[in-house]
Amino acid sequence: MFAPASLTALLFILLSQDVSGAPTASTAVVGRSMPIRRLNPLSRNLTLVAQRARNQRDLLAVKYSGQSLQQRGTGYNLIVNQETDTGYYGTIAIGTPPVSYDVILDTGSSDLWLTSSTCGASCGTSPTYDPAMSSTFQNLSTPFEIQYGSGAVAGYVAEETVQMAGFSVAKQGFGVVDALSSAFNTNPVSGIMGLAWSSLSSTQQTPFWQTLASDGSWDSALFGVQLTRYGNVSGAAQNEPGGVIDMGYTNSSLYTGSIEYHDLVGTPQYWEINMSELTVQGNSIDIAGISTAIIDTGTTDIAGPASAIASIYAQIPGSQAGTGQLEGYYTYPCSTTVNVQFNFGGNTWSMSPADFTHSQASTTECIGAFFISSIGQGGPSWVIGDAFLKNVYSVFKYSPASVGFAALSETAIAQNGVKAAVPSPTIGAVTAVTGTVSSGALSSRPLSILLCFWLASTSIAFLFW
Ligand SMILES: *[C@@H]1O[C@H](CO)[C@@H](O)[C@H](O)[C@H]1NC(C)=O
Ligand SMILES: *[C@@H]1O[C@H](CO)[C@@H](O)[C@H](O)[C@H]1NC(C)=O
Ligand SMILES: *[C@@H]1O[C@H](CO)[C@@H](O)[C@H](O)[C@H]1NC(C)=O
Ligand SMILES: *[C@@H]1O[C@H](CO)[C@@H](O)[C@H](O)[C@H]1NC(C)=O
Ligand SMILES: *[C@@H]1O[C@H](CO)[C@@H](O)[C@H](O)[C@H]1NC(C)=O
């Protein structure tokens, strides 16, 4: 979601993945001397001897070769599609022993936060983090507050061991939230993992991904995202398989052709790139002036300047600007197939007509996925969320700081709309127990639907459960 400045989509999650098994720890004893045993020459088996010798050399190489000590790697976290494409979450483990929590994966913000066990009613009914249960909790005692469009979260900054996709970061700074404004408290939430750059961080911490990308933990200093589509599937469950976040590599089974990278505009903060052309029904929309776009997995739809949004709907006969709760949105006849294409200075990327439909407003009228952003001057002109990102494999690269897009493979496309159990995420090298749900949790969660959420200085709404 486009966080501190203005808009935010906060989605919440009740579900916490069950990770089987009790916490385990393996102990390696280092530097202990071994009794020397004489090998009976008769017992020698050349093959075995050679093998042991080779093992020993390998071990020495690992111990003393410096560079190779640095473990590089890759990992992935299967994610969950909530409320038919409204939001996507993954699972992290935090603390010692590790406990797992579901968090919105948000390339539009840079803070990791979790609701705390001391928060009480305002934090809703999802699992909460309890510092007292972890031996690696370190209180930095710095207060923080993050203003989202629709409200605020506040608490203090702490450090913890955080794990995701098989990677672990010790002393990861994060926010322990002990107050949520009322705009949030109807949404059961455990938290958000911000995947943008540290310069945006309200808690002034380096995001998990950025630590791993910059310290050489990853084979390639980037992460890739594939998001599934259930928006045009009838009877989709509240939670469905959401795709994947690939850390340290791109999964070539999920895309075809090459990845088209675009350098970020200015100093990295958001994943913000130039947008050069937008066409609707084959006609170019005037996006005059400097048009930049934030690539934001944490926003459901696509926000743009009022004049450009009006031009988009001007291509669709029968469309109308929304009023009241729908202010900033437009409705249009559901019978219209709307084709939108984006160009960021390379290939043209098409968005499926299915993704142009945000939701149905009546039997004949649909709410479009493009809405008016109220981000002021100097900010990015567009926020491009999941409505577009479902159509590509997107890559977020640390250096050179850039965003890449590639066409989805048949394998990736075949994952859309497949009704299945939500995946078990890969959390870390060790197993984690599931966060505890405060009492009363599962009871009354209205399954409501989102209207929109959008906010700027004053306004609106977004997702009400
Ligand atoms: C030596 O050990 C290897 C591996 O265990 C075994 O496959 C092989 O048959 C052994 N050779 C002899 C001569 O015992
Ligand atoms: C951490 O520090 C903050 C600020 O001093 C304090 O309010 C909070 O209670 C502390 N948390 C714990 C678990 O000690
Ligand atoms: C790549 O994606 C395919 C299709 O989803 C999956 O089966 C495979 O396990 C993935 N490989 C890696 C290394 O992530
Ligand atoms: C973005 O567009 C502006 C205006 O055309 C240009 O000056 C700038 O170099 C572009 N930035 C990147 C990273 O392409
Ligand atoms: C949903 O939209 C996709 C992309 O346009 C399309 O391929 C698929 O057939 C649609 N599914 C249904 C059930 O209409």
Q: From ligand 4's centre to the CA of 412, what distance in Å?
A: 32
**Model pLDDT, residue 376:** 64
| Ligand 5 atom with minimal separation from the 353 CA | 5
Q: First and final CA of the chain: distance in angstroms?
A: 18
334, with CB counted inside 10 A (0-12, 13-18, 19+), is: middle
- 301 annotated active-site: no
What are the pocket residues of ligand 5 if the criterion is a CB atom closer than 6 Å to any ligand atom?
232-233, 352-354, 417
Catalytic residue, from 102, 106, 178, 301: name it: 106
**Model pLDDT, residue 31:** 29
- pLDDT tens readout for residues 402-445: 999 999 999 999 999 999 998 877 776 544 555 554 432 222 22
Structure tokens at 93: 């483990």
- Residue of 220, 207, 198, 140 whose CA lies nearest to 395: 220
**What's this model's pTM, rounded to 2 decimal places?**
0.80
More confident: 390 or 83: 390
DSSP assignment of 57-108: HHHHHHHH-GGGGS--B-EEEEEEEETTTTEEEEEEEETTTTEEEEEEEETT
Q: From ligand 1's centre to the CA of 57, what distance in Å?
A: 21
Tell me how long the chain is.
Answer: 465
Q: What pLDDT band is residue 83 in, cutting at 50, 70 and 90? A: confident
Give rounded-to-5 percent helix, strand, coil for the chain.
15, 35, 50
Domains of the chain: residue spans and CATH: 32-245+416-434 (2.40.70.10), 255-389 (2.40.70.10)
